[in-house]
A and B are shown apart, each in its own frame.
Chain A
Amino acid sequence: MKRVKFTLNGAAAEVGVSGTLLAALRDELGLKGTRFGCGSEACGACMVVVDGVARPSCTFPTDDLEGKSVDTVESLGPPAAPSHPLGRAVLDEQAAQCGYCLPGILMSAKALLDRDPDPDDATVRAALDGNLCRCGAHLRILRAIERAAKEMRG
């Protein structure tokens, strides 16, 4: 079986074809932080960063992964001591209720902050408009992203 080689959270990885990146992450690679939400790119729960751009993994074909670099929410952890300012900020601000949407939101935010370290409020909101949150943690999430951005700017 053909294997696809790519970079996952900074390390070499490979998966068998074919399927979605979401299925590969969860079932084949055992990285279950990325969530299934709708399967049709409509909610952002499965967002990962592919070559610097936030992409829904639920429709991203593993066939297209060759040579690409993928970051998932696991790159912000571990849960007990997050390595990334976004991981720390979301806990410092208690920016969640059920938490299900957060990995996708954090990956959208990471893609944004990596290309625009000092976005204004409207830019952050626009970058997150493809991510749904049902619990209504939006205000806290916006505060957490602002906090992380500040820390990342140093």
Chain B
Amino acid sequence: MIGALPPALNDAPLVRDWLRLEEGRATLLTGRVELGQGAVTAIVAIAAAELGLDPEAIDVVSGDTDRTPNEGFTVGSMSISQGGAAVAWAASAARLLVLAEAARRLNVAAAELSVRSGAIIHDETTTGLDFLEVGAAVDLSVATADHGDPGRMPRAAELSRIDLPDRVLGAPFVHDIGGAETLAGRVLHPPQRGARPVTLDTEALAARPGVLHVVIDGDALGVIAANQSDVDAAISWANEQAGWQQEDAKFGDLRDFLGKRLETAGDTVFEQGDADAAKGDVVEVRTSRGYIAHAAIGPAAAVACWNDGQLTVDSSTQGVFPLRGALAKAFKLDTSAITVRHRAGSGCYGHNGTDDAAADAVFLARAVPGTPVRVVWSRTDEFRAGPLGAAMATSVRITLSEGRMSGVRVRVASPPHSSRPGTAGHPCLSTPARFDPPQAFPQMPDVPPNRGGGADRNAIPLYAIPHMRVEKTLIHDLPLRTSSLRGLGTHVNVVAIERGVEAAARATGTDPVAFRLAHLDDPRARAVIERVAGDGLPAPDASGAWGLGFARYKNTAAYCAVALRLEVGERLRVTNVRVAVDTGAIISRDGTLNQIEGGLLQAISWTLLEEMPLHGSGAGAIGWEDYPILRFSDVPDDVQIELVDRPDEPSLGCAEALVGPTAAAICIAAESFMGASLPEMPLTPARILSAM
């Protein structure tokens, strides 16, 4: 169902801003970009269903500052609910306008006409009129809001990903763009923020094999060569010679540092009743995690070219328009002088190094006007130079009264979860931050509550508890750059809340599943839990135990419950999983399942394996050996996913919904098996041993 007019229609009000019907083709223009989540395919399917065309008859342009609407960032699983809705509006307007013209030509009522595979139909017979031919004569420079009437989001036929064949068997990635004329470049990234190369002989660097240019601005330095191998060798040499001078920020043990910030009250972000006045037995849990890397398999990359004062950038950014704005600021250009085009990138789970790589390419390409420069980060850059998912800690204190939860206080301590390009009017790009003068980063705000919150995302329990207070302490004195990573605070917050609720259930002697259900009023919340654990969960066995986790993402999006069995041995492994997700109306069943599977497996990886090692006051991973992630042998043996279809409810994204419930189920299973409290993620064998 499509509710109010999507906000994107304010900035791009005309039908032709979204759709062109020219020369026998339909061209769809979307500001949403394909990040591997299937969003663009789903949007094409929506347009096809609304127009009555076959998807193959629709060309799509996505994320191009010269051509598409400005839809900001493709984030937060809102591609369908917002971007898809805008396209549904525009496509419905186009259909009605074209049918009105066809009705005029046929001298029948427009309401009697429909479109099937591009043919205009009247009384179940073809009229001989072709939708696209008639459409070419219709003026689409009219307001979508005046003509659109999409009603319910169309239930599109299952459509295979239109971009997938090329991604898997071809070479469409930003890494692959450009022929022999394209030069290779890389910037020398510091091992930690603020470190300066003080002993680097730049003349000797310029004389290294294959080096064409050494580009310098302040502390920022990069190399251009004819090919990637020569650039990589030159940058490795420069890194050895750099004599990095740095001041280590002293924060001691990260978990202790975070824990201390939980000892004092933070800013109240939500209050209901009087959490301090609630009297009774108290259970309290704490949960923390370290920094999490985006860790895409392909490192960040971009291509830039300056031509007669015009700059063209190919990037796998989540937001072509915000990146354009940030580049304009950093390089002192008018936005009209910059074109940013989205190109396929390796996995994107939030704000990774992609925008920084684009700035690197622009910085280097400025030295060779007219020639494109491609930047591909090294694996080490990918781990150390890009933003990280924030380390954070959350405490949950629950007051029990007569077998029920009567009060809860949630405290979150975390660095901010956003430093996207353009935040607070600053470029927020790593290399320009080292220019002379520096384009410094501002003190970052967190993501505001009306966008789901950042550190406090999912910090408000969905359970019916009369007295609640949620506090947040935003930490600005940790030196690592943090930004949005899948789910933001939801990972730690849901684990903390679910562990707290589990402990509360045990303290009252109630079955944890029944206890949850007894504190949930929303039938959709109850339904997902009942589907995975309605008959209770199996008891712990000799080698493992089951755990349950539940959350409604952002408390406004998809409902998700996960029950799983964790095997505890020399290594920890999730063996069996049951998932139930209610994501509203389902546009693409397989696309939804793909996102759920991915969310599940990534959450398992984060929770069992992942923590960025620290080196001084910077990220310490050099390669995958320092930052292991889930492998094929770690993948669960059995995964059962149930989608609760709600055709009359708005479509909600699901890519982040799995993060909290999966992690919570793992932690609860481990605690159930061990009979001990396990407050720190990841749950490594070493942490399990020390709990014994």
Contact = CB atoms under 8 A, between A and B. Distances in A.
Contacts of B229: 19-20, 23, 27
A126 interface: yes
Contacts of A36: 175, 228, 298-299, 376
A148 interface: no
B5 interface: no
Contact of A129 (B168, B597, B633): B633
Contacts of A99: 36, 164, 167-168, 344
Contacts of B160: 91, 94
Nearest to B180: A27
Contacts of B623: 38, 40, 42
Interface stretch (B260-268, B360-368, B624-632): B624-632
Sorting the interface of chain A by its residue count into under 10, 10 to 19, 20 to 34 or 35 or more gives 35 or more
B524 interface: no
B436 interface: no
A105 B346 CA distance: 15
A39 B379 contact: yes
Interface string A118-154: 0000001110110111111111111000000000000
Contacts of B298: 35-37, 45, 98, 100
A113 interface: no
B228 A87 contact: no
Given A97-B37, A133-B297, A27 B227 contact: yes
A101 B165 contact: no
Given A45-B297, A99-B36, A140-B594, A79 B347 contact: no
A26 B376 CA distance: 13
B624 A132 contact: yes
Contacts of B630: 136, 138
A98 B601 contact: no
B314 interface: no
Contact of B169 (A38, A78, A139, A142): A78
A43 B378 CA distance: 13
A6 to B, nearest CB: 19
B169 A87 contact: yes
B36 A96 contact: yes
A50 interface: no
B518 interface: no
Contacts of B346: 98, 100, 134
B166 interface: yes
Interface string B613-629: 00000000001110001
A132 B297 contact: yes
Nearest to A33: B171
A100 B296 contact: yes
Given A91-B164, A98-B348, A135 B171 contact: no
A43 B600 contact: no
B168 A136 contact: no
B170 interface: yes
Interface in B159-209: 160-161, 164-171, 173, 175-176
A101 B347 CA distance: 9
A128 B632 CA distance: 6
A94 B166 CA distance: 12
A98 B35 contact: yes
Interface residues of B, number: 55
Contact of A136 (B176, B227, B601): B601
B274 to A, nearest CB: 43
B345 interface: yes
A89 B673 CA distance: 39
A43 B621 CA distance: 15
Nearest to A127: B632
A121 B15 CA distance: 51
- Most chain A CB within a 10 A radius of its CB, from B345, B347, B378, B625: B347
Contact of B602 (A38, A39, A94, A134): A134
Contacts of B173: 35, 100
Given A37-B298, A38-B623, A39-B378, A90 B168 contact: yes
Nearest to A76: B169
A23 B225 CA distance: 14
Nearest to A131: B632
Contacts of A42: 379, 623-625
Given A37-B379, A42-B624, A98 B165 contact: no
Nearest to B378: A39
B599 interface: yes
Contacts of B232: 39
A37 B376 CA distance: 10
A79 B629 contact: no
Contacts of A94: 160-161, 164, 590, 594
A151 B194 CA distance: 56
B65 to A, nearest CB: 22
B635 interface: yes
Contacts of A56: none
- Most chain B CB within a 10 A radius of its CB, from A43, A73, A90, A134: A134
A77 B298 CA distance: 21
Interface string A73-87: 110111110100001
Contact of A43 (B168, B297, B639): B297
Given A42-B624, A42-B625, A124-B632, 6 more contacts: A42-B623, A94-B590, A97-B598, A102-B168, A125-B632, A139-B639
26 contacts: A23-B229, A32-B175, A32-B176, A37-B298, A38-B623, A39-B232, A43-B379, A90-B169, A91-B160, A91-B164, A94-B160, A94-B594, A97-B594, A98-B296, A98-B347, A98-B348, A99-B164, A100-B167, A100-B346, A102-B167, A102-B168, A125-B635, A129-B633, A132-B631, A135-B36, A138-B601
Q: Which 5 interchain pairs have the tightest Cβ spacing?
A: A99-B167, A136-B601, A98-B36, A32-B171, A136-B598
